Amino acid sequence: MSDPSVRQGATEGELSNEVEGYLLWQARIAEAEQRAREFVRPMDWLTTAQRTEIEQSYVEDALRRARKDLERIAARCTSLRAEYENRYRELRRRCVGWTLVVCAGLAAAVTLLLLL
């Protein structure tokens, strides 16, 4: 009933998605840290502690914004998927309906021809 290879493939697919997401997030963190260092670099008057604090705040803010962006994108993807699924269902119903109408019309025409 349930093919183990299909099940394992789904698990591997989920795992690869998680790994990809993790790697993308780590890249986002590295980018935010690099930008924070570049932001603080021209501020020679800051002490080391102040520089570190500003860098941490910058990184936290950048990651918070990135998370919100990703959540907004994920929500939009979900809504688009639902819209497309609904549209597909509607088109499939319409196609099946027209097919039935054409078949019924052809059957009626053949029946009339046979009766004549």
pLDDT, one tens digit per residue, over 30-83 is 999 999 999 999 999 999 999 999 999 999 999 999 999 999 999 999 999 999
For the record, the structure tokens of 66 come out as: 């990135």
- pTM over 0.95? The answer is no
Give dist(CA 65, CA 17) in Å, integer.
Answer: 22
Stretch 74-102: mean pLDDT = 96
Given a contact cutoff of 8 angstroms between Cβ atoms, the answer to whether 42 and 15 are in contact is no
Given a contact cutoff of 8 angstroms between Cβ atoms, the answer to whether 36 and 59 are in contact is yes
Going by pLDDT thresholds of 50, 70 and 90, the confidence category of residue 1 is very low
Give dist(CA 7, CA 28) in Å, integer.
Answer: 32
